[in-house]
Structure 1
């Protein structure tokens, strides 16, 4: 095999690779042994036809695709090792010359680790919101608890209000014709939950149990059922039952029933502590995000598209896993959001580019600052994993053995983030709570 580094440009290496004819012949022979079991040649049992006859009947090209799968990966790996190319993404291959009895020639374009030039790392100016936990915050959380444990009481003569639950029968019509999927019986609907299309729920405010009403709506232009998008519709609705939430008194009896505390003051103290911890955690995450965003802007990072694509795949997979935990597939999400994979990836591309740049910056900081992790830090991480997964320490340690290099690498990146934060100028600023994202 012969390999040459043609050029390095924009953090991509271009390789010219030539596989000698004998090695390519080995690949063709492997391809033949695979394909001969799948083709039918008159006069021969499946798997017994000579290679020459297979090539006569189907053409020599029938072997090429499988032969390339056998030959190219090995030749490419050998080439990057010989040429000292540090590939960081899957390569793109281009076949230059392919013919039985001759050397196989192909080119490979592969993303390589960019040469990162770090900029200003110390003294980065960062502003984070200063948030105090107020009595209003504590009382709002208490009201949420009251709402969560509220009892549902039926309304007999009183009209429905936003926040009430109504049990309804309904059927939808467009131009006096009932449409598919527009009918339901004994459907439970919370008014104001925006479960139905815009304008539907508000028109049931004021209605009483046992009454009927025609609800006039217009389907959104981007409604997923294309035949209904933008159409005016009438829903014939009958209200069979109305229930409203009856909040319980906020006293010690309520506290003892819904929490581990005996008094309202104890519960308030715990809520205040919890809100403060959440506020500090949010502030810390915002601080890290801001420091990273500002630091990466100071760096020179020639970023190949192939690396951004790899980061994009990671983000899509992570998003898909989060959806699956909620019982939704990515395909269902895209359908519900009236989107497709191409548009979804296009939307994520800027963030993928930023994430890839930040990762490269942190790796460079680890390298330049000589950041290491101690055995104690590794054990602490294993202990946290054990507590999170319910495993014993030794069992968690054993389960992480195969990925320990990656665990250590991630810990080094986290310490690089800590280095940036520790050397930043952090300023807390007063903001309105609604301004905090």
Structure 2
């Protein structure tokens, strides 16, 4: 095998690789000899089929498999002999006109990872913004739970229903005067203003009294799940059996016991813990972005263009998807298009930070354990249907790049935690609003991301101005591996109760 470097510019490399025809032929003969005992052919005893007949029958397939294996080995040798660290998969081209019996002439182009100097971690200083959870916040959460557990009692006779009141009704739905399946129900509880029925249904019942009978007309939304009802005008004959008003919910131990807890103090303790966990997550976000800004400000090195392009493609895809969901998609798309280069700058920053975190982690022995990897694998497999989970596990286990991508976010978090431990951290108590403002300010201060102060669709994606986890794990950075995707189970379209179907509510 002959390997010759043909280009060396910056982070780009090119090579010509020649695999001799005799080596390929020898490997084909070896593979044929291995397969011959397994081949069955009329007129020959099992395992006695001549090698020349086996080659004639399976020659093209064997040649292709052998050639592929030879190319993979050549790439491994090239990387090892030249001590390369490829940024992405090398682009390998087989010379035009190649045929069996000829030398395999390959052209190999790739980009390599830059040499990154691991920074000294002495003197790293970070400020940790801490939000104490006040009793008033806990009480507010308890009140919200109580408001969602309304206890309706009968209203005074003759009371006209208002938003917030509950009706007990019978209804019969009709299309062109004919009842349709799933459009009728008895003794249905309906809270006016809760928007649980299709648009226009609840609004027409404001002002009714117990004993009233009323016919209303509504139009089913165009996106209604039942095909026969989409966009259709329908009437509903309604009998109002009762009007109820929301009673006061006493916030005491009995209230907590109705929720399955022992006491009100236990409920408050659980809610306090949730609030503390939530604010701790925001604090970590603020510290991480502060850390990344410090690292970005102190390091400026070339990054592989292919990694930047792959990272930018992910950012751009998310931006455009969010823009299409805006009220004015055309305006949102134009807005992000006008700042396309700013987002490309974000991609450069993210790749650079990812590579830097990777070097820091490797230099300091940061690792994801086998046990942690198994947990990640099992969690990821739960996203698939039961019958597809084992296939997904086998795919990850057989594809190093896919496994590295799965491992990457945890690896990045572990490197960040390592840096937190090394840093001199000072704490300062702030309010939740001040903490959120600090996070937003750090997003706006990112050196590579001159983002506008107000954005619609782009803003959410632009917030991810961090290190891509793929690069931080030194996996196949930025570019997603093609993991097998299980097909999603089809959902039933027809609702059981047409007007009460939650899906009918417009976003």
TM-score, normalising length: structure 2: 0.51
Q: Is the contact made by 1:169 and 1:237 (CA closer than 8 Å) also made in structure 2?
A: yes
The equivalent residue for 2:161 is 159
Encode CA deviations 1:288-324: one digit per residue, 9 max, x unaligned.
2332245235422433355468889999xxx9xxxxx
The equivalent residue for 1:214 is 217
Q: How does 1:13-92 map to 2 (within 5 A)?
A: 13-26=13-26, 28=28, 50=53, 65-92=64-91
* Alignment CA distance shift 1:195-1:23 (3 Å): farther
In 2, Cα distance between the equivalents of 1:252 and 1:285?
36
Shift of 1:414: 3.9
The equivalent residue for 2:95 is 96
Q: Is the contact made by 1:191 and 1:201 (CA closer than 8 Å) also made in structure 2?
A: no
* Alignment CA distance shift 1:5-1:124 (3 Å): same
Q: Is the contact made by 1:146 and 1:247 (CA closer than 8 Å) also made in structure 2?
A: no
* Alignment CA distance shift 1:254-1:194 (3 Å): closer
The equivalent residue for 1:362 is 357
In 2, Cα distance between the equivalents of 1:204 and 1:123?
67
Q: Is the contact made by 2:163 and 2:191 (CA closer than 8 Å) also made in structure 1?
A: no
Encode CA deviations 1:217-254: one digit per residue, 9 max, x unaligned.
775xxx699x99xx976354455788876563112322
Encode CA deviations 1:96-139: one digit per residue, 9 max, x unaligned.
25222221111233443322357897778877766443444222
Encode CA deviations 1:173-192: one digit per residue, 9 max, x unaligned.
8xx899xx997555998766
The equivalent residue for 1:4 is 4
Q: How does 1:132-151 map to 2 (within 5 A)?
A: 132-147=132-147, 149-151=149-151
The equivalent residue for 1:394 is none
Unaligned 5+ residue runs, structure 1? 320-335, 338-342, 390-402
In 2, Cα distance between the equivalents of 1:7 and 1:177?
79
Q: Structure 1 residues 1-10 or 242-251, which shifts more? A: 242-251
Q: Is the contact made by 1:152 and 1:244 (CA closer than 8 Å) also made in structure 2?
A: yes
Unaligned 5+ residue runs, structure 2? 319-324, 327-332, 380-402, 440-507
- SS of the equivalent of 1:106 reads strand
The equivalent residue for 2:364 is 371
Q: Is the contact made by 1:172 and 1:182 (CA closer than 8 Å) also made in structure 2?
A: no
Shift of 1:140: 1.9
* Alignment CA distance shift 1:355-1:168 (3 Å): farther
The equivalent residue for 1:115 is 115
In 2, Cα distance between the equivalents of 1:171 and 1:33?
75
Q: Is the contact made by 1:89 and 1:306 (CA closer than 8 Å) also made in structure 2?
A: yes
Q: Is the contact made by 1:116 and 1:299 (CA closer than 8 Å) also made in structure 2?
A: no
Encode CA deviations 1:178-221: one digit per residue, 9 max, x unaligned.
9xx99755599876666677x556635627586432235775xx
Q: Structure 1 residues 234-243 or 106-115, which shifts more? A: 234-243
Shift of 1:19: 0.9
Shift of 1:147: 4.2
In 2, Cα distance between the equivalents of 1:118 and 1:145?
50
Q: Is the contact made by 1:372 and 1:412 (CA closer than 8 Å) also made in structure 2?
A: no
Q: Structure 1 residues 19-28 or 264-273, which shifts more? A: 264-273
- SS of the equivalent of 2:94 reads strand
TM-score, normalising length: structure 1: 0.58
Shift of 1:417: 3.1
The equivalent residue for 2:397 is none
